Structure 1
Amino acid sequence: MRVRGDSVDDHRAQVEELLADYRRSREQLAAVQRELAAVSGEASSPDGSVSAVVGPGGKLVGLELSELAYRRHRPEQLAELIVRTVGEAAGAAAEDSYRTLSAVLPAATDPAALVAGTADLAPAEYEPEPARRPARGLVDDDEDNEQRESWLDSELIDRRVR
């Protein structure tokens, strides 16, 4: 037979155990938040002329362009190279985030889908509709781009002629 005091003591022990679990969970969550706040990714272009560092949330926190970047690439090419390199750095930062999250998520949960907000959705609910192709003849093919001189060399030649 149970005495009323034992029942109260059992209840207190259960509450204390729940509070201890709650504190452990909060500590683990705080540790994950600190790790996510320190996430970063780095990338360099294949020719080494562009380097990018991306922090938490894909925020660009560092960008370096070598002196050769301006000589090797026309402005639009350099812009494209910067965007591509920053994208690669952001991908590396995202992978770092996914590794951090996977340590605390259930085994069957995809961290990338969770971050994207698609973890509980079917692909039909979040996949974009196929883009329409532009009509033929409306796309500007810049085929002679490879045959052009470097934009910097062109500028220097123009200055010497004057």
Structure 2
Amino acid sequence: MDFDEPDVAGMQAYADELRRTFLRLQEEGDELRRQAQAIQVTEKSRDGLIAATVGPRGELVRLDIDPRIYRHPDARQLAASITDTVHRAADKARERILEVFEPLIPPDQMRAHLDGDMETVMAQLADQMAGREKPRDPA
């Protein structure tokens, strides 16, 4: 980004977008937060013997194991199946979070925030401020 010759129109458009987004967050933020906090996703294992329910951050809320699992005891397979099932549920919960916030935050930006990918977040911010990325109208 060349700070000597700023794209004033791009910066103004981005500032306007931020203001609109902030105002919408004030109006809709509590409801979106409530929706996001209420997310729970249940996923079944491929064999149907394990059900994992996760919350909005992918944290395990409930784990159900069908007693038929003991017919063929294999601790490693059980652990792998639980891990796979929890990961698939967490991925779906994450997608639901993206859907909830999509009216205000573009999914690629929200994904970068959720991933803690500050390099991408900063690059997106620089692109928007430089006018290289068209501001999104949240209205």
Normalising to structure 1: TM-score of the pair? 0.55
Cα 1:108–1:91 change in 2 (3 A) is closer
Structure 2 gap segments, 5+ residues each: 1-18, 124-139
Alignment of 1:50 onto 2:50: yes
Q: How does 1:78-93 map to 2 (within 5 A)?
A: 78-93=78-93
The answer to whether the 8 A contact 1:51-1:64 is kept is yes
* Counterpart position of 1:31: 31
The answer to whether the 8 A contact 1:40-1:92 is kept is no
Deviations 1:37-72 (A, max 9, x none): 011211111111111110121111111100111223
Cα 1:26–1:91 change in 2 (3 A) is same
Cα 1:121–1:53 change in 2 (3 A) is same
Q: Displacement of 1:96 after TM fit?
A: 0.5
AA in 2 matched with 1:42: T
CA separation in 2, counterparts of 1:110 and 1:95? 13
CA separation in 2, counterparts of 1:108 and 1:95? 9
Deviations 1:62-116 (A, max 9, x none): 11100111223401110111111011111111110011111211x4843211211
CA separation in 1, counterparts of 2:64 and 2:107? 39
* Counterpart position of 2:101: 101
The answer to whether the 8 A contact 2:53-2:60 is kept is yes
Normalising to structure 2: TM-score of the pair? 0.64
* Counterpart position of 1:112: 111
* Counterpart position of 2:64: 64
Point out which structure has higher relative CO (alpha carbons under 8 A, 6+ apart).
Answer: 2
Cα 1:33–1:103 change in 2 (3 A) is same
Q: Displacement of 1:27 after TM fit?
A: 2.8
Between the two proteins, the alignment pairs up a number of residues equal to: 101
Runs of 4+ in 1 over 3 A off after TM superposition: 107-110
CA separation in 2, counterparts of 1:108 and 1:31? 18
SS at match of 1:120: helix
Structure 1 gap segments, 5+ residues each: 1-17, 123-162
